[in-house]
Structure 1
């Protein structure tokens, strides 16, 4: 599998090359967005990592051009810690995932696993939430892309009479979200906060949990990581 990494910092490129090569990937590196897009056109990588802040063509423009080309190639955005607005903009452009600098092995592994699964998905991207009643709690299974158009599907779920006072939100591998989806989810959680229902979210990638924490979702629901430990690269 071929991976393209775009970053204007050579030490970051060297770190990615070392780790990804050791994991068996073929690695291409580019020091700017323009060079990265040239490699994308000529080499057709399976997965792209791109820094969001670079001189000249930044990571958002790289992502925009990849999407405008018609490619659904997973693009993973590399951001600085706490870069909420750029992360939102990347999700609006259907970024596959994002990781923060300094890059941690857990976050990188999570992004790679998610990207590889997306390459072979045959499920539709349309958002759906499936209600599965149980004796102890209500399970909601989220799949597809949560955006403004999907607001009615989420608001139709009533948590007022949840058995056991607990709701479990399970997010499938093909789940994604944009700026409007984040606001919709936050508003839904705020509206149900007074019901006394405990909400637990599971199945999110390590990196989406980071993003949800930045957005304040963790103040309204428990976020359960798949891999709670972190190891620096």
Structure 2
């Protein structure tokens, strides 16, 4: 499988190339956004890592151009954004532009492994033309467990079904809510706002909230967004 890494910092490129080659990928690198888009157009890698902040065109513009090329050639690609400290707003913008995932600098091996695992899962689902946007509920005594798959937006079927629990009568007898995120979970900006508002409302009526199943990168992202302040995020060891 082909992977392209776009970053203006040579040490970052060297690190990615070392690990990705060892994992068996065919690796291409580029030191600018312009070069990266050109390499993508020539090689058509299935996975692209791109830094957000670069001279010339930045990672957001790279993301836009690559998706336009994909659309023109009826191809799909997993674009993973490399973020630095303080890039929260840009990371959210990238999610709204259908970035597959994000990974923070300095890049940890655990984070890299998690992003690759999610990207390969999405590639497999795309080839099988599977749609995993769904939600399921399981109640046991005073505990409600909710499993979420696919992309979460403020007007999705998932939020419509989950939103019914804003009605206090639906919460009668429930003491704890556990939200379990599937491996293919992703979210957009309006989905983040909706989820934070929903969790705040549930917590305010005295219900304990936990979140499980998030990828290593999404845990870090949700912490940046402040979700860990209103819900307990349980880290999983399944990606190690």
TM beyond 0.5: yes
Preserved contact between residue 114 and residue 239 of structure 2 (Cα < 8 Å)? no
> Structure 1 residue 153 and structure 2 residue 161: aligned?
yes
Return the match for 1:176 from 176, 186, 209.
186
- Per the alignment, residue 94 of structure 1 pairs with 98
- Per the alignment, residue 130 of structure 1 pairs with 136
Whole-Å separation in 2 of the counterparts to 1:135 and 1:73: 43
Q: TM-score, normalised by structure 2?
A: 0.89
Q: How far did residue 81 of structure 1 move?
A: 2.1
Q: How far did residue 223 of structure 1 move?
A: 1.0
CA gap of 1:185–1:88, structure 2 versus 1, over 3 A, is same
> Structure 1 residue 78 and structure 2 residue 88: aligned?
no
- Structure 2 residue runs of 5 or longer lacking an equivalent are none
Higher mean displacement: 47-56 or 128-137: 128-137
Q: TM-score, normalised by structure 1?
A: 0.91
Whole-Å separation in 2 of the counterparts to 1:6 and 1:168: 38
Q: How far did residue 162 of structure 1 move?
A: 5.1
- Per the alignment, residue 30 of structure 1 pairs with 30
Q: How far did residue 35 of structure 1 move?
A: 1.0
What's the Cα RMSD here? 1.9
- Structure 1 residue runs of 5 or longer lacking an equivalent are none
CA gap of 1:226–1:138, structure 2 versus 1, over 3 A, is same
- Which 4+ runs in 1 deviate beyond 6 A? none
Q: How far did residue 229 of structure 1 move?
A: 10
Whole-Å separation in 2 of the counterparts to 1:61 and 1:191: 37
Whole-Å separation in 2 of the counterparts to 1:29 and 1:124: 32
After superposition, what is the alpha-carbon deviation per residue over 1:117-155, rounded to whole angstroms, capped at 9, x for unaligned? 111114326x43221222352111111211122243331
Whole-Å separation in 2 of the counterparts to 1:226 and 1:37: 35
After superposition, what is the alpha-carbon deviation per residue over 1:166-218, rounded to whole angstroms, capped at 9, x for unaligned? 11111112211011000000000111112221111111110011110011100
Return the match for 1:105 from 81, 104, 109.
109
Whole-Å separation in 2 of the counterparts to 1:28 and 1:204: 29
Whole-Å separation in 1 of the counterparts to 2:161 and 2:55: 41
Preserved contact between residue 171 and residue 201 of structure 1 (Cα < 8 Å)? yes
Preserved contact between residue 52 and residue 60 of structure 1 (Cα < 8 Å)? yes
Preserved contact between residue 98 and residue 111 of structure 1 (Cα < 8 Å)? yes
Preserved contact between residue 106 and residue 227 of structure 1 (Cα < 8 Å)? no
- Per the alignment, residue 197 of structure 2 pairs with 187
Return the match for 2:121 from 117, 121, 126.
117
